[in-house]
Each structure stands twice: as C-alpha cells, then as structure tokens.
Amino acid sequence: MKVRALLLSLAAFSGVRAQTFCPPTPTYTPCDLLFEMSAEETAAHPVPYTTVSLEAEFRSPRFRTHVLPGFWDGGSRLVVRFTPTEPGAWDFRLTSNLSRLNGQRGQVQATASGTSGFLRPRNVHHWGYTENDQAHLWMGDTCLRFGFVDDSFLDRLVATRARQKFNHIRGLVLGTGEDAASAFPAPGGPNIEYFRRLDRRIRTMNQAGIVADLILAGGDNQLTRMFPTPQARERYVRYVVARYAGMDVTWQGIAGFEDYEGGRELLREIGTLLRKLDPYNHPRSTDALVTSAPLAGDGWMNFIVHRGADVALGAIEHQLQAAPFVNAGFGVEDAGPAAAAPGGVSVDDLRKRLWTSAMNGQYPTFANAATYAGAGLPVDPGQLESPGARQMTVWFDFFSGTRHWELEPYFDVDGGRALALEIPRSEDEPPEGIEYIVYVEKPGPVEIVLQRQNYDVAWLNPITGERLTRSRFRGDRLRIDPPDTSHDWVLHVSREERKRGLLRSYKFETHTVRLQEVEQNAQRVPFEIAEPSSAALSAGQPSYYAAKVTRETRATRSMLWLWTAEVSTDGQGYRFIGSGQEGTLRVPGGIAFHYPAILNLRLAGMNANGKVYFLDKVLRLER
C-alpha cells in the first residue's frame, strides 16, 4: 500500500465552497491533510496535544460518512490522515476549537485501485476483506519493539517475512519497559520523531503486504501508569487512532490484560473508544496471558487472542465463540544467542504446536527468541531464516491450497486431530464431503469417516513441505498409515475438482456455520466434579481438582477438560485455571476485589464427538 504525505497549506483554504485538496488518491491509500496553525494559535496552544481538537467528517460519493480525528504532528502541524474507501469525490467538513478551522470544507478525489481493502472477520471463525470475497490466511510474526529496533533490522525483518509469506507483524506501540518514556516522555505530548518513525515502519509493512497488529500498551499496568485518568487515556487512544486507522492495522488492546488492575473495565473503556473513533472498523481484540474470550460479551471485541498451546482451551473455546481465533503465543522458537528464552521451545515442538492449534481452528502468530525483541533479549538478523520460520511457510503453502476459510474442527477421526468442510444438504440427505485434513502428531494408523465420494489422498511432510500423493479413494471410511513413523504427518483428503467448482459457484462461504448449544442440564452431563470437595478455596493457593466420568460411552472415553473460575459480582470475567481430568489449580487473587467472595467454578467437558457440557460448582473464595 503506497502512502502519500500531502503537505497542504491552509492559507488558500476557503469555507465558502468545497475545494479539491489532494491530487487523485487511490482507494485504500492514506493521504495526509496538513493544516498549519498560525503564530497566534500556536502561542495560545503551547501544548497542542492536550488543548487543540480537530476532527474531519468525510462524506463518500455514495453518502457514507467517515469521521476521523486529527492529530498534532509537532510544531504548528495538525494532520488529518484520510484513506478513501471508494472512488469519486469525498467532501469533508472540519470541526475544531480553532475558530479559523471550524466549519471549513474541502474535497478529496479518489480513484479506483483494485485492492482488496481492509481486513475483517468473515464466516464466523475466519478472515476476509472489505472489497471482495478473497479470503485472508492470517500468519503472523512478533517483534514487540518494532518501533525501537534499528532501521536495518526492521527493513530486513519486513523483507524476509514477506518473502516467507507472513502477512502480520505484531508489536507494542509504546515498546517495552523503558521504551515508553521515550515514546511518550510526558502526558503533555508524544515524542513526535518516534511516532514519525513508527509511521514509516508501519508503511513499510503495509507496502510489503503485511498488517501491523498494534498492542496499545505493555504489561505491568503500563497504560494506567502512563495515562492515569480516563481523559488521558481517551486522548492517547484518539491520537493512535488518528495516526494509524488509515493504515492496514489491527488493534490488540493491552499486553496480558489479566494482570492489569481492573483489566476488563479498562478494556471496555478503550475498546469502546476504538470502535467509536475508528471509521474503518479494523479488527479489535486484546493480548492476553491465556485468552481474551472472557471479554467477548462486552460488545467491543470481534476476534479472540489466545496465548499458549493448551489443546483443551483452544478446542473448547472454539466450539463456543462466534469469532475468529488468533494464537499469538503457541510457542517461541528457541534459537540463536537468545537460546533458553522464556517460553522457548524446540523447532519440533513449535511445529507440533502450530499444527495442533490449526486443528483447533486458530490462526497462528509466530515468535522466534532472537527476533521477537522481547524479554530484554537481543535481536539476531541471522535467525530470520530459522527452521521454525521455514516450517511456518510450509504451513502457509499447504493451507493456501485448501478452502481454509470454511474449515471447522472435525471429530469422526481416530489417530489424529482434524479439520473438515462438509456442506449441509437437506435434512433427509447426508452432507456433501469436500475436504478433510488430519494432523497426525504421533505417527500411526489413521481412520477417518467420510461422506461417500471419490477423493484425492495425499500426505504432507510438515517439516519439508514434500507432498506424497496416494491413489484416489472412494468410500466412507478411510484407514491409512503414514509414510513412515519418524515424525509427524498431515493427511489431506479432498475433492480438488469440486473445490475448483466451488470457487466459481460461491462468492465466499457455501453454508452458514452454527455454534452448538452447550448442555448445562446436570442430569444430562456425563461427569461430575469430584474435587475440590471442600466448600472453600484460598486465592493463590494450590488446590487439587478432578473430574469423574459417570456415564461411560464411546464418546466419553476421550474427553477434553477445561476448568475456569469467576466471581460474578466483581465483574472481572472468568479465568482459565486448569485443563485435564485432574491436576492442581490456583485461583488468581485479581479475580475479585472483595473478600470473601462467591466463586463459580466451571468445568467444561468436550467428548470425542465435539459435544460440550458445562457443570458448575459454587465455592467460597478466601484471601
């Protein structure tokens, strides 16, 4: 995406009739409208960031309205960064507390560009674009200090990741630790040179086809420490939206929201601001220590971020939430001088976590210990070509050849975990089988139930990307062994000719995905909470938990278990506290403001058919 900085003088600006301000600007290309404050206005507003307001209302040729905040860009410069989303004449009107600007009008001419537009959630759990029916296969990278690393590393990072087919890079707007003090040296105003550098870097990403996933603030209560009042936070959010909403971005809230004091209410505040101020409606969520799903009901968020490789969490939450999932922390590739990084895993473990999260319906965001610029670790450009990055490309290439935007977890399989596309037909007919993907982490026999059709069968080596084609198969139950047992494999069963026909027949999805209704009737739940058996728990203290299956069936022989806890009266949302049939849990102290509290312990169990059950137990929570 090309970005034009158009320096416009207000001296010739007239409010009597609309004027054309920009030369013809391609759609989805940001242009900057610059307004210079006079000497008198500058003297009256020595800190424009805090005292000058500027907003522009744009009306499209089809009479759609975009309202954009302006921002202070140093000295006497005020900027409105506008991105037209349709060709034709866009009229705008300014609103400002500078009387000379208030009510002034102008016009921007936009030309058709043929681009796909901005990213948006599509088809319940997937991604597409605003301007066409092209699907988006999200594959992200992480560089937390992308605004602070040196130029040569950033340029090499973007060029390399684009070549490796990454299309997202995730980072902190204010950096980590002491970075924030240089980005925003005082509440009175940002470091303009830093934000201009950040502008250039996001433009560099966008020009390479990479979306910038922006985390507005880091952990350790960074947002509230730097901007302690709602007014200060609104001013900061407005500033970030004004600078970056016209670019290709997503909003990812705050780092590790669960550790923030009053994190849920804080995110409701800034998330509502993002929804209100961003006329382009870029995807919104927040970073999390585990999952942002507890905030899904608050109305501002439209996708969910996971951090971690817990199979039960990914599998069960996907069955319950009508939103795309991005796993931004399934593992950090442990490599280079940053070996033994926090959370670091071997490349084999990283690959297995990648494919397992994909079978849960999640889109991946990668991290390498030597390139993600976090935890105080140095960056090493040599690790940009790491084995983990190459295996991410294998993953992308494979899924690019599937109908990934319609695949959902599939359960009629033994020997692996699966995704599938089956198109429903009438109630009296079985669905039409289109595509099945089985990840076989531990090589062994695989058996999968299919809809009776002729299928193309192939094995993919997820390490090298080598594809081994097998003979075509016709039937409704395929039993097959992987090519060897030396590593994990991916089985691909599909009807390639039918898939090509679907591309011609359907604009995007072939059917509507419906979430299941969770069974909460205790008499129908085939398990019980055996532990904790006491009536009280202590926050932060270990407690044993265990589930007991009370109705043995083929489906309950293979269960996934998810344990969560919530103090409803304090409104912090639920917290993930454990998985598995038994183990040790710790209820985090921040789950409640007042003690003792009434704690709702919830056990979610998902059987081998993908059916989810809830069972609740009320306990007393003590400090």
pLDDT at 150 over 70: yes
For residue 270, give the H/E element and its range. Answer: helix 263-277
The per-residue pLDDT for 376 is 79
* Spatial separation of the C-alpha atoms in residues 227 and 165, rounded to whole Å: 37
Helix axes 263-277, 230-244, angle to 10 degrees: 40
The per-residue pLDDT for 117 is 97
Q: Tell me the pLDDT tens digit for each residue of 394-453.
A: 999 999 999 999 999 999 999 999 999 999 998 889 999 999 999 999 999 999 999 999
Name the percent of the chain lying above pLDDT 70. 95
Same domain? For 40 and 160 the reply is no
Same domain? For 461 and 606 the reply is no
The per-residue pLDDT for 317 is 97
Helices (H), 140-189: 151-163, 179-183
* Spatial separation of the C-alpha atoms in residues 71 and 55, rounded to whole Å: 9
Q: Tell me the pLDDT tens digit for each residue of 93-146.
A: 999 999 999 999 999 999 999 899 999 999 999 999 999 999 999 999 999 999
Residues 442-471: what's their mean pLDDT? Answer: 96
The per-residue pLDDT for 187 is 67
The per-residue pLDDT for 339 is 56
Report the CATH number at residue 437.
2.60.40
Same domain? For 354 and 221 the reply is yes
* Cα→Cα distances 562→276, 327, 329, 576, 584, Å: 35, 17, 19, 8, 13
| Domain boundary, last residue among 400, 428, 449 | 400
Pairing of strands 575-579, 582-585: unpaired
Tokens representing 348? 């084999």
The per-residue pLDDT for 589 is 87
pLDDT at 18 over 50: no
Residue 103 lies in a domain: yes
Half-sphere exposure of 266 (CA within 13 A, CB side): 24
Same domain? For 173 and 293 the reply is yes
Report the CATH number at residue 24.
2.60.40.10
* Spatial separation of the C-alpha atoms in residues 54 and 98, rounded to whole Å: 8
Same domain? For 379 and 431 the reply is no
Residue 517 lies in a domain: no
Q: Tell me the pLDDT tens digit for each residue of 307-351.
A: 999 999 999 999 999 999 999 999 999 875 545 566 789 999 999
The per-residue pLDDT for 360 is 97
The per-residue pLDDT for 341 is 60
Same domain? For 255 and 389 the reply is yes
Residue 519 lies in a domain: no
The per-residue pLDDT for 9 is 34
Residue 58 lies in a domain: yes
Same domain? For 266 and 178 the reply is yes
Report the CATH number at residue 607.
2.60.40.730
Residues 212-216: what's their mean pLDDT? Answer: 98
Residue 231 lies in a domain: yes
- Distant-in-sequence, close-in-space partners of 181: CB < 8 Å, separation ≥ 6: none
Domain span at residue 41?
4-111
Residue 452 lies in a domain: yes
Same domain? For 365 and 474 the reply is no
pTM value is 0.94
Same domain? For 388 and 426 the reply is no
Residue 116 lies in a domain: no
Same domain? For 590 and 494 the reply is no
Same domain? For 412 and 385 the reply is no
pLDDT at 3 over 50: no
The per-residue pLDDT for 428 is 83
The per-residue pLDDT for 344 is 85
pLDDT at 567 over 90: yes
The per-residue pLDDT for 21 is 63
Q: Tell me the pLDDT tens digit for each residue of 501-551.
A: 999 999 899 999 989 999 999 999 999 999 999 999 999 999 999 999 999
Residue 122 lies in a domain: no
Tally of domains within the chain = 4
Same domain? For 337 and 359 the reply is yes
What does the mean pLDDT of the chain come to?
93
Omega before residue 24 within 30° of 0, cis: no
The per-residue pLDDT for 340 is 55
